[in-house]
Amino acid sequence: MEAALKTIWDIHTNKELLWIKWVHGTYLKNLNIWQVEVKTRDSWMWKQLLKARKKAVALCGSLENLQSLIRSCCRNSKIKLSALYLALSPTENRVPWSTTIWGGFNYPKHSFISWLAVQDRLLTQDKLIRRGIIQTNQCILCSGAEVECRNHIFFDCKFSQDVWNKIMDWLCFKWRCCDWNQLLNWYSFSLLGKSFKHSVKRMAFTSSIYNIWMERNVRIFNQKCKTVEQLVKLIKVDLMTTIINSKIDAESKNWVLSL
Ligand SMILES: [Zn+2]
């Protein structure tokens, strides 16, 4: 599937290659590679390509997710197949954090960003510096008090610490920690199973990662800032919306309402 995705990406980025021009003229016409549907008279190869596209979109939850995943595997605008392979290989059964991140109450978009965070694939500033894309590294959440890397932004940064502590307060967590590795261990080994409270706590984790990452992006790209309280509210709304819309027993409902 990785090789097929590389081909799809080459078509998407419209590489200056003769065969890509041919593909555009023959198969795509005015459509793009993500929209085009399979036709019965298409060649076997083309059908395989679109089949791989469909499978990859399903795996990532959405086309947008797939595209950002592929982008995260590019170095100097070239796809690293080994990185793509690792990102797409079925990890469900072999990594302890998979239950923390996927399924249950988790929103697919939260799962996806958390999945990238766990694999340290989000394009944080430390990575952009290494690739020569930017020259300085200042965490935008704490106004440049520290440099931005995965472990800082989740949840070592003063801003995300405040968000995370407030969420833990709200859910009556007894155990407190803002260290990424310890947190991930705790979530992967101690918060397993179908218990309602555990599911809610797992969702709090992925929703916090997602909302903090989005806040970081909005600050960088749109120069708009939310306060700790506003972000905490967003995470609570995410959690409450899912919980209220799911079938839960009376005891669980009372617990949620008492929060
Ligand atoms: Zn910071």
Give the residues across from 75 on adjacent strands: 78
**Cα 178 to averaged position of ligand 1 atoms, centre (Å):** 13
**Cα 149 to averaged position of ligand 1 atoms, centre (Å):** 9
What local confidence, expressed as pLDDT, does residue 197 receive? 83
**Cα 176 to averaged position of ligand 1 atoms, centre (Å):** 19
What local confidence, expressed as pLDDT, does residue 156 receive? 94
**Cα 143 to averaged position of ligand 1 atoms, centre (Å):** 7
* Mean pLDDT within 3-12: 87
**Cα 47 to averaged position of ligand 1 atoms, centre (Å):** 47
* Mean pLDDT within 29-50: 88
What is the per-residue pLDDT across 167-204, written as a single tens digit (0 to 9) for each?
999 998 887 888 998 888 777 777 777 788 888 888 89
What is the per-residue pLDDT across 209-252, written as a single tens digit (0 to 9) for each?
999 999 999 999 888 899 999 999 999 999 988 887 777 888 88
Query: Would you call the peptide bond into 155 cis, given omega within 30 degrees of 0 as the criterion?
Result: yes
**Cα 188 to averaged position of ligand 1 atoms, centre (Å):** 25
pLDDT of 113 higher than 50: yes
Between the CA of residue 195 and those of 29, 40, 248, 249, what are the distances in Å?
Answer: 52, 48, 11, 12
Arithmetic mean of pLDDT over the chain = 85
Residue recorded with tokens 């819309």: 245
* Mean pLDDT within 135-150: 93
pLDDT of 95 higher than 70: no
Q: Is 79 helix (H, G, I), strand (E, B) or coil?
A: strand
Is the Cβ–Cβ distance between 248 and 153 less than 8 Å? no
Query: Which of 68-77, 205-214, 250-259 has the highest mean predicted lDDT (pLDDT)?
Result: 205-214
**Cα 137 to averaged position of ligand 1 atoms, centre (Å):** 11
**Cα 141 to averaged position of ligand 1 atoms, centre (Å):** 5
Between the CA of residue 216 and those of 10, 223, 240, 252, what are the distances in Å?
Answer: 30, 10, 23, 33
pLDDT of 101 higher than 90: no
**Cα 155 to averaged position of ligand 1 atoms, centre (Å):** 9
**Cα 156 to averaged position of ligand 1 atoms, centre (Å):** 7
What local confidence, expressed as pLDDT, does residue 211 receive? 96
Q: Who wins on pLDDT, 227 or 63?
A: 227
